[in-house]
């Protein structure tokens, strides 16, 4: 079994880390560079920084912030939001990011996945999928969960993999910020269907939820935000707990 990863996610709006519930009602969670450095020291395996309004507002992602993070953090980090072309990827990697996460732009132009994989390697390309469970189906959304599409989670994940995605980051909008546990049934299907790693997002509320996402959901990595930002769960304590539960951690 591959070692599992713990990944704090920092949603960035107007230069600050924010956290919402079901993709709305955001509150301030602190300085993104300071938080990233603290998580790095606590033993986080990676970080994800998402400019959550970039696609909706038609902006490019925050190069200056990426440079600051790179100067202060000693673990790999992924950057997403407003990435629409290879030039954006090049700019962010040059600023210090290790990977990029594409979501809306991948749905609108699936060729972008292949282009990133061919030019920078599959390991750089994380395809993020925001999906909501509606009428018995997982419907994929654009623009930070604002706009439903005709894409469905499982078929779209398989297409993204076939086009060269290195990882799938699945956020359950149904579970986001509710702290009731991850979408383990859907995650298990994804993990069994795909050959590439699956990162689970949406629903972490207590340490047991991380154990469940690795054992029941079969995820390769677990991403969380508010439980880390507001000090409810300490990362080193979490990794110790998971190791005691028999889960191989990075």
pLDDT confidence of residue 11:
86
In a domain, 167, yes or no: yes
In a domain, 127, yes or no: yes
In a domain, 141, yes or no: yes
In a domain, 20, yes or no: yes
In a domain, 42, yes or no: yes
Q: Report the residue count for the chain.
A: 250
Catalytic residue among 130, 176, 212, 220: 130
The span from the CA of 14 to the CA of 51, in Å, is 9
Arithmetic mean of pLDDT over the chain = 92
Q: What does the pLDDT average to over 215-241?
A: 95
Confidence at 31, pLDDT banded by 50, 70, 90? confident
In a domain, 184, yes or no: yes
In a domain, 249, yes or no: no
- Residue 150 catalytic? no
pLDDT tens string 42-57: 999 999 998 877 655 5
Which range marks the domain in which residue 181 is found? 5-244
Answer yes or no: is pLDDT of 127 > 60. Answer: yes
pLDDT tens string 106-123: 999 999 999 999 999 999
Q: What angle do CA 69, 224, 11 make, to 5 degrees?
A: 50
Query: Of 224, 170, 238, 228, which is closest to residue 200 (Cα–Cα)?
Result: 170
Catalytic residue among 11, 45, 88, 220: 11
The whole-model pTM stands at 0.93
Q: What angle do CA 70, 72, 73 make, to 5 degrees?
A: 70
Three-state DSSP class for 233? coil
Query: Of 17, 90, 25, which is closest to residue 48 (Cα–Cα)?
Result: 17
Locate 121 and state its tokens. 């390697």
In a domain, 250, yes or no: no
The enclosing domain of 99 has a CATH number of 3.20.20.70
- Residue 220 catalytic? no
Indicate the number of domains in the chain: 1
Chain centroid to CA 195: 18
pLDDT confidence of residue 176:
83
């Amino acid at each position: 079994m591959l070692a599992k990863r713990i990944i704090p996610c920092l949603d960035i709006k107007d230069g600050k880390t924010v956290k919402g519930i079901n993709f709305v009602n955001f509150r301030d969670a602190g300085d993104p560079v300071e938080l990233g450095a603290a998580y790095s020291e606590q033993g986080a395996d990676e970080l994800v920084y998402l400019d959550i309004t970039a696609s909706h507002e038609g902006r490019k992602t925050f190069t200056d912030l990426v440079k600051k993070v790179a100067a202060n953090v000693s673990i790999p980090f992924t950057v997403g939001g407003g990435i629409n072309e290879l030039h954006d990827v090049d700019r962010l990697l040059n600023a210090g990011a290790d990977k990029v996460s594409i979501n809306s732009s991948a749905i609108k132009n699936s060729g972008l996945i292949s282009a990133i994989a061919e030019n920078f390697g599959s390991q750089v390309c994380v395809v993020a999928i925001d999906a909501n469970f509606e009428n018995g189906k997982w419907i994929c959304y654009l623009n930070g969960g604002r706009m439903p599409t005709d894409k469905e989670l499982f078929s779209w994940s398989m297409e993204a993999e076939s086009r060269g995605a290195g990882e799938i980051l699945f956020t359950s909008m149904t579970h986001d910020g509710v702290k009731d546990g991850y979408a383990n049934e859907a995650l298990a299907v994804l993990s069994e269907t795909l050959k590439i790693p699956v990162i689970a997002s949406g629903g972490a509320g207590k340490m047991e939820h991380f154990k469940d996402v690795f054992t029941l959901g079969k995820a390769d990595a677990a991403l969380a935000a508010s439980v880390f930002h507001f000090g409810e769960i300490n990362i080193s304590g979490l990794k110790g707990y998971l190791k005691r539960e028999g889960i191989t951690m990075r």
